[in-house]
């Protein structure tokens, strides 16, 4: 029970983007969230990371209530995310992007940065080495290039590396396979499993059913802001309401 959502809802003006969604993610899960376009999946991530507050409901992480906390506090607690529409820092290099992810795990302020004290140098070197390791792990070589010079699939991987630099317990991935071809998606599945095996918990929004059914151990299905089903991939595939709302369309 690392992450729990309890009756979470979000209204945008008159639009009920989410209503009374509850679920629990357990340590070590690869927890999938699926649903049609505009169902409210990204909104769920935005609520967990406090991009905006929920209209009602509670969200708790390792026993800490998250609602009311600032986004940077939540990140520091150990939740990191990627974005559906890639949001890299285009004015920074690939390596620097990952080092920004390590921000909360570092301490040096203006004074130490100005004089490059031994403590600052040591910290900076450690962060750089760790960032290089992470980039190596996700398979990016051009680390001194500006981040927007990377190919699309690589940018998605860079977002994952940047999020891992936070040293999170829970990693939220918003459509990580979007825009990837089959072999890239295959590699991504392998990568996500490796991250889970590092002891991280993963919550994953994805439209690629092959990926979702293969790597998730549990799934929640959102439709029009409501959770219509939850269970193992086998449960979900057998659920008639889900087939009607979502999966059926794929087969048709």
Ligand X SMILES: Nc1ncnc2c1ncn2[C@@H]1O[C@H](COP(=O)(O)OP(=O)(O)OP(=O)(O)O)[C@@H](O)[C@H]1O
- Tell me which residues touch another protein (CB under 8 A): 49, 51, 70-72, 75-76, 80-81, 83, 87-92, 96, 99-101, 103-104, 106, 108-110, 112-114, 116, 120, 123-124, 162-163, 166
Q: Which of 60, 84, 93, 214 binds Mg ion (CB under 5 A)?
A: 84
Residues with Cβ < 8 Å from 4, sequence gap 6 or more?
Answer: 22, 23, 24, 25, 58, 59, 60, 61
The conformation of residue 146, written as its DSSP 8-state character, comes to B
Nearest CB to Mg ion, comparing residues 84 and 217: 84
| 183 contacts ligand X (rule: CB under 6 A) | no
* Long-range pairs for 244-251: beta carbons < 8 A, 24 or more residues apart: 245/36, 245/221, 246/34, 246/35, 246/36, 246/221, 247/209, 249/36, 250/209
| 219 contacts ligand X (rule: CB under 6 A) | no
Sign of the CA dihedral running 42, 45, 47, 49: negative
Q: Which of 4, 42, 154, 201 binds Mg ion (CB under 5 A)?
A: 42
Closest contact distance (angstroms) between CB of 160 and ligand X is 18
| 43 contacts Mg ion (rule: CB under 5 A) | no
Q: Which of 3, 23, 30, 40 binds ligand X (CB under 6 A)?
A: 40
Closest contact distance (angstroms) between CB of 113 and ligand X is 35
């Amino acid at each position: 029970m690392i992450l729990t959502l309890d009756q979470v809802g979000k209204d945008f003006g008159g639009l009920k983007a989410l209503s009374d969604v509850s679920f629990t993610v357990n340590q070590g899960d690869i927890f999938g969230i699926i649903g049609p376009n505009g169902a409210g999946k990204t909104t769920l991530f935005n609520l967990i990371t406090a991009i905006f507050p929920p209209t009602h409901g509670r969200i708790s992480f390792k026993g800490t209530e998250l609602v009311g906390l600032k986004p940077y506090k939540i990140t520091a607690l150990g939740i990191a995310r990627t974005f559906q529409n890639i949001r890299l820092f285009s004015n920074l290099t690939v390596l620097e992007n990952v080092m920004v992810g390590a921000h909360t795990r570092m301490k040096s302020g203006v004074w130490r940065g100005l004089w490059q004290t031994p403590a600052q140098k040591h910290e900076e070197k450690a962060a750089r080495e760790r960032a290089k390791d992470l980039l190596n792990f996700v398979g990016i070589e051009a680390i001194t290039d500006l981040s927007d010079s990377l190919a699309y699939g690589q940018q998605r991987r860079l977002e994952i590396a940047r999020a891992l630099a936070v040293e999170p317990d829970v990693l939220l991935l918003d459509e990580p396979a979007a825009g990837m071809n089959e072999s890239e998606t295959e590699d991504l599945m392998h990568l996500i499993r490796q991250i889970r095996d590092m002891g991280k918990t993963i919550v994953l929004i994805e439209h690629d059913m092959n990926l979702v059914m293969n790597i998730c151990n549990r799934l929640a299905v959102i439709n029009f802001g409501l959770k219509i089903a939850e269970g193992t991939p086998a449960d979900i595939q057998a659920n008639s309401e889900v087939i009607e709302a979502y999966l059926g369309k794929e087969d048709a």
